[in-house]
A and B are shown apart, each in its own frame.
Chain A
Amino acid sequence: MQIEQSFTVDAPRSRVWTLIRDPEQMIACVPGCESIEETGPDTYRAAVTVSVGPIKARFSMAIAVIEETVMEYVRTESKGEEGSRASIVQAISDMRLTDMPEGGTEIHYSSTVEISGRLGRYGAGMMKKIATRLAAKFEESFRALAEKQEEVC
């Protein structure tokens, strides 16, 4: 499943970059994310719950930053398993930041996601709709965070 989207926030690129690379800040933005801990240089473990109707899957995700250009681009690889159950999620995600001519930053991200197991029972068409909805929630929380932070400084 491919997800690609971009949105702009009214905050400078340096601010956006700092937030994106700060796991503590990301907990609040990623829908369903309960915790993130650093497990090594550029590797993290996160607990993320995804619920679709009555089915609730709690993934333990291993996330690794596999490529980055400071202030511009980051590529991550994520793998998640749901305890003893056979649900597996894998994703490769790219995020690119660009300055907007009128100020602010454009965040463009694309993700290739594979889901199998309990949530994989919902077809790809529906999972894409659900992923898009989660992405919109992320965008909303991230924008609120980025723009609020800027005012404080």
Chain B
Amino acid sequence: MLTSMTKTDFQKPKTVEEAVTLLKEAGDDARPISGGATLVALMNARLVQPSRLVSLSAIDELTQCTYQSDGSVRIGAMRRHRQTAFESNLKAAHQVVSGAASQIANPPVRNMGTIGGSISFADPAADYPPSLVAANAEIEIAGPEGRRRIPAEEFFLGWYETALEPGEIVTAVILPPVSESSVGQYEKLCRIAGDFALASVAVTIDFNASNTVTSLRLAVGGCGGGPIRVEAAEQALIGTKLELDAVVDAAELVVAELDPIDDVRGSAEYRLKVVPRLLQRAFNNLVETREPAQ
């Protein structure tokens, strides 16, 4: 099996700048490696044969998750899914992200995989992308030209394509400040435990004192090339108390924007049918988690 293995140069820099330089030097066939949950599997299957691997695991800043003074949370790209799932800094609406992390694959993958690696791979059915769009996250990227930040919505271009230019790496995910009254919920439907989503729904909502929705963001996963945010549905739900009628109407607006495919997990038609149910389930679960606090 291993007879035609090509030789891979392995590097383990200590800083982001070094990592970027090492990637640039080696050109197109170099790959950054974080947890390796996906890349190592692709290499084992000989689908990808990098000439150089640049491990990001020794870069201290990437392994930190910090609560910033302005209320935003900076999740380093090397944070494992398990760490994010149990992250105490993620409160209120930010829990849409920890909720997504807790539902990724299985414990070995959650112990190994990282947020930076997962979003760079950008599987259309992955759990983080819709949750980051719903959380209005920003992605921090480092490259030969320095660092830049872009909204999650502009990062996922669809069908495994991201806004990363050659030689660039994700360094952090930044979640904006949220109010204490906000909530976040991630709902996923998969055929078997640990699978990628057949479809998923991520929502973040804030309410006023009388339980009326004052802000809402909603994104769907597994139903197109990337997470799909439906602003018309968000607008339709703001000002309501998430009554059944309002949710049914909004779900129709959501379904109209989806672009699913038939694949081994389910047909496109089936996906369009389950998304409204997932949306309703997300709202039901939100109300349940909220009520004891009232």
Q: Which residues of A contact B (CB under 8 A)?
A: 52-56, 84, 118, 121, 123, 125-126, 128-130, 133
Contact = CB atoms under 8 A, between A and B. Distances in A.
Nearest to B268: A125
B219 to A, nearest CB: 19
A59 to B, nearest CB: 15
A129 B39 contact: no
B48 A129 contact: no
Nearest to A57: B47
B225 A54 contact: no
Given A52-B160, A53-B122, A126 B261 contact: yes
B159 A52 contact: yes
Nearest to A117: B47
B1 interface: no
A149 to B, nearest CB: 30
Interface of B: 4, 28, 31, 39, 42, 47-48, 121-122, 124, 158-161, 225, 261-264, 268
Contact of B261 (A53, A118, A128): A128
A56 B268 CA distance: 27
B159 A123 contact: no
Given A123-B261, A123-B263, A126-B261, A54 B159 contact: no
B263 A53 contact: no
20 contacts: A52-B160, A53-B121, A53-B122, A53-B159, A53-B160, A54-B31, A54-B39, A54-B48, A54-B121, A54-B160, A55-B42, A55-B47, A55-B48, A84-B4, A123-B261, A125-B262, A125-B268, A128-B261, A129-B261, A130-B159
Given A53-B160, A54-B39, A118-B47, A129 B263 contact: no
A128 B28 CA distance: 26
Contacts of A123: 261-264
Nearest to A49: B28
Given A53-B160, A123-B263, A129 B121 contact: no
Nearest to B120: A54
Given A52-B159, A52-B160, A53-B160, A126 B263 contact: yes
Nearest to B225: A129
Contacts of A121: 47
Shortest beta-carbon contacts, A-B, top 7: A53-B160, A125-B261, A123-B263, A125-B262, A54-B48, A125-B263, A55-B47
Contacts of B158: 129, 133
B225 to A, nearest CB: 6
Given A121-B47, A125-B262, A126-B263, A54 B4 contact: no
A52 B48 CA distance: 11
A55 B29 CA distance: 10
Given A54-B42, A123-B261, A123-B264, A129 B47 contact: no
Contact of A129 (B4, B31, B159, B264): B159
Contacts of A55: 42, 47-48
A130 B124 CA distance: 12
Contacts of A52: 159-160
